[in-house]
Structure 1
Amino acid sequence: MIAWIVLLNLGHFYNSITTLILSSICYKEIITLSESKQRTNLFGKFMDWYIYGMMIYYVLPMNYLKPKLVESFILPDSFFHLILFQYHSFILFCLFLIALVLFVFSLELDKCQYQVEKLTMNLLGALFVVFIPSFASSNIYKGLYWLLFPHICVVTNDVFSYTLGQIFGRTPLIKISPKKTWEGFIGGLICTYIMAFILPIYLQGSQQMLCSMNEIRIRPFAEVACSNVELEQYSRIISLEMAGIQIHLTRLQFDSLVIATYASLIAPFGGFFASGVKRALNIKDFGNAIPGHGGLTDRFDCHGLMGIFTYFYLNYIIYKDQMVAENLSNVLNSMTNEQRIALLPQIISQIQKLQ
């Protein structure tokens, strides 16, 4: 808990890097499982991490290093700007072609089935522990609350679903996880709702938690501040009527309850999916990084789904107008001055048509 509090106060950048490090450890656990059937040669190990590197390169400019966040230290037309933004898609396509050619050349007649299975496992692993969790990094820059709260929802739901399931559980929920019960599932939902109603009350005015960031700050423990307008949007009262009862919530409470609903109804299926994979591989845990609790993949199997839902909810519901402007800004930042000048007449033409 102390380490978590320190990490939050270190700032948005360091939380983003931590997400990347955790995904690397989870990927290592998954490729270790795929190596359990046969010993992998040096070239096979290279391909494992080549796939990981290709996936990281794909998500870096999308969720970790957006043009707007890094414009103060990655200048337009610089080498890093060229490879991360301007030619990113083309370079990624070339990396994919190289991976395809290398994989085909590596195929051996007596190991072909194993090699294809291993490639599939690694691609699936990269999807679930690199691509999907990377969205949590993007959420960080909308405010640390959107990193902290979804994970608290998962932990709360997991703890109370297990505890109440052990006490009151009678009706099996899903065949792949016999210990999961409907009583625990519903109890976890109710407890997560209670937490989602109460926690925003204490964090309502916290600039450290709720203020968004428009740039990457390397200096740790940097002060976070924003305008009152940004904070007041979370304090706006929303009135709902349910069964004749008028309910008043702040915008932050309402959004938190939406995320809590997803955390209770959908996110647990990330854990059920992980259970299915473990049963298919006939293993108990993905690793042993946490004594008595398995590997990091076992602990974060639901968190990736939370990150991607929070991303879409933030960008297409809460900040949908800002998302359009941000996408346009990212496109312009990835262009050269000549390309911007060439685009200007088209923009003027479109504006004149709208008028």
Structure 2
Amino acid sequence: MAWNWKTFNTRALSAVLFAAIMLTGLLLNKWSFFLLFTIIHFGCWAEYQKLVGLIDKNYQQINPFHKYGVMLAGFCLMLFLTHDWFVFGSLSLYSLGWMTGLTCLFVLPISEILFTRQLNLKLIMHSLFGLIYISLSWALMLNIRSGALWMPVGDDEGNGFTHLSTLLARISGYVVPLIIIGSIWINDTMAYVVGSLIGKTPLSSVSPKKTWEGTIGGVVLSVAVMWGLGSLSQPSSAWLWAVIALIAAITGTLGDLLESKLKRLAGVKDSGNILPGHGGFLDRFDSLLLATPFVWVFLKLIE
């Protein structure tokens, strides 16, 4: 694949703007993090429903309660997995997600029967896949951010060790999303650069521009950079940074291929156009969508 400076410059400028928006949302506070992934969640859903509608024309005819109700149901899952850390006054997002989610479970099937007079299992499966593919991923990202995976059992007050453990849990929840996202950014960038310079062997027919050389180079460099950053900031946990980077880079590449397959079935080049050179929400977050659940499972296994 020949090097294209025009494409690279467009992607680079867009990436700077995108990075500024992302970093603001990720670093400002927990509410900016929540708002960022709320926007991403609904943006991904809008594009997913558009793609599925192109793949299966019948999906374009789903009733409004189905179309927007499934998005709301997915959002409820996100709220539910924040646990009790995101609290607005006396109401936690966890409780709100639980109550609203139960309502969706009752209302959505009833609305489907009332409007369509039948339950079309194929259309329901399309939406169910969206809930797993999109909503569950972002719900697990919020779960990681909340520190719930590392939250110690017991009362924070009156116990210095427990209080320290809680503090470490908060820090871990703050850092891990940055490691996942940083690993994917490095992998994507280095895979593009290495593939452009020396890539010759196509990785998959689904995405002809991807090469084995670029893919391997992206993974290796992502792991190396994250291990180095981990060594500088937390030497004792540098191995954890490297493993998360490895998981994120590999599964992130698979996530990219999965979204490319969806676009090919739909007959489109991009899922949307939020940033020049980067496409839509799904184009930009396809890697993170698949990487997040796998990293969450790994963290759950070692907690």
**TM-score computed with the length of structure 1 as normaliser:** 0.64
Q: Aligned residue for 2:214?
A: 184
Deviations 1:227-269 (A, max 9, x none): xxxxxxxx4xxxxxxxxxxxxxx23211011011112222211
The CA deviation at 1:83 is 5.8
The structural deviation recorded for 1:136 is 1.0
Alignment-mate amino acid for residue 183 of structure 1: E
Larger Rg: 1
Larger displacement relative to structure 2 (91-100 or 53-62): 91-100
Residues 193 and 122 of structure 1, relative CA distance in 2, 3 Å threshold: same
Closer/same/farther in 2, CA of residues 311 and 175 from structure 1, 3 Å limit? same
- Matched to 2:228, the amino acid is I
Distance 1:83 1:198, change over 3 A: closer
For the 8 Å contact 2:85–2:146, the answer to whether it is kept is no
**Deviation of 1:139 (Å):** 1.4
Secondary structure at the aligned position of 1:294 is classed as coil
SS in 2 for 1:283: coil
State the match for 2:162 in structure 1. Answer: none
Write the distance in 1 (CA, Å) between the matches of 2:183 and 2:208.
23
Gaps of 5+ in 2: 1-18, 148-172
Counterpart-to-counterpart distance in 2, 1:40 and 1:304: 24
Which amino acid letter does the alignment assign opposite residue 271 of structure 2?
F
**Counterpart contact for 1:154–1:263, Cα < 8 Å:** yes
Query: Is it true that 1:59 corresponds to 2:78 in the alignment?
Result: yes
CA contact (8 A) 1:171 1:182 kept: yes
What is the aligned counterpart of 2:190 among 150, 160, 177?
160
* 1:304 maps to 2:289: yes
Percent of pairs with identical residues: 23
Query: Could you say if the C-alpha distance between residues 290 and 118 of structure 1 is closer, same or farther in structure 2, counting changes exceeding 3 Å?
Result: farther
Task: Specify the alignment match of 1:221 in structure 2.
Answer: none
Give the Cα separation in 2 of the matches to 1:8 and 1:101: 38
Change (3 A) 1:304 1:146: same
Q: 2:277 aligns with which of 265, 275, 292?
A: 292
Quick check: 1:44 aligned with 2:63?
A: yes
In 2, the alpha carbon distance for the partners of 1:2 and 1:177 equals 28
1:11 matches 2:29: yes
Please give the secondary structure, in 2, of the residue aligned with 1:180.
Answer: strand
| Contact 1:160 1:187 (8 Å CA) reproduced | yes
Larger RCO (CA under 8 A, 6+ residues apart): 1
Give the C-alpha shift of residue 81 in structure 1: 8.0
Question: Is the partner of 2:63 in helix, strand or coil?
Answer: helix
Match of 1:133 among 134, 138, 142: 138
1:163-312 matches, within 5 Å, as 163-202=193-232, 204=233, 235=234, 250-312=235-297
Contact 1:269 1:302 in 2 (8 A): yes
CA contact (8 A) 1:34 1:118 kept: no
- The answer as to 2:91 corresponding to 1:74 is yes
Distance across 1 between alignment mates of 2:137 and 2:241: 21
Deviation (angstroms), 1:288:
1.4
Q: Does structure 1 residue 101 correspond to structure 2 residue 120?
A: no
Aligned to 2:153: none
- Unpaired runs of 5+ residues, structure 1, are 205-234, 236-249, 321-355
